[in-house]
Chains A and B, each alone.
Chain A
Amino acid sequence: MAEIDVQKQEAQEMEGTERTRTGLVFVPSVDIYESGDDVVLLADMPGIDENAIDIMLEKNILTIRGFAGEGGREGYGLAYSEYDTGDYERTFALSDEVDRNKIEATMKNGVLKLILPRAEEARTRRIEVTAG
Chain B
Amino acid sequence: MRVSDIVPWRQRELSGEDDERSTQSLREEMNRLFQDFYRAFELTAGEGGAMGTFNPSVNVSEGEDGYEATIELPGMDEEDIELILGRNSLTIRGEKREDREDEGKSFYRRERSYGYFERTIPLPTEGIDRDNVTATFDRGVLTVTLPRREQEATERRQIEVQMS
Residues of A within 8 A of B (CB): 1, 3-5, 7-8, 29-35, 39-40, 42, 44-49, 72-73, 75-83, 107, 109-111
Please state if B38 and A77 are interface contacts (CB–CB under 8 Å): no
A117, B33: Cα distance in complex, Å: 57
Neighbouring B residues of A75 by C-beta, 8 Å: 63-64
Contact at A109–B76, with CB atoms within 8 Å? yes
Among B67, B72, B105, B137, contact of A35 (Cβ-Cβ < 8 Å): B105
In the complex, chain B residues whose CB is within 8 Å of the CB of A76: 61-63, 68
Asked if residues B108 and A33 are in contact (CB atoms below 8 Å), the reply is yes
Binding site for A on B (CB under 8 A): 38, 41, 45-46, 52, 55, 57-64, 67-68, 72-77, 101-102, 105-113, 137, 139-141
Chain A contacts for B64, CB-based, 8 A: 75
Tell me whether A110 and B74 are in contact in the complex, defined as CB-CB below 8 angstroms, given that A46-B141, A80-B41 are known contacts: yes
Residue pair A49, B55 in contact (C-beta under 8 Å) = no
Contacts of A110 in B (CB 8 A): 72-75, 139-141
> Which residue of A4, A46, A80 contacts B74 across the interface (Cβ within 8 Å)?
A46
20 more CB-based (< 8 A) A-B contacts, given A33-B106, A73-B61, A77-B61: A3-B52, A3-B111, A7-B57, A30-B112, A33-B105, A33-B108, A42-B112, A46-B141, A47-B72, A47-B140, A72-B61, A73-B63, A76-B63, A76-B68, A79-B38, A80-B38, A83-B57, A107-B139, A110-B72, A110-B73
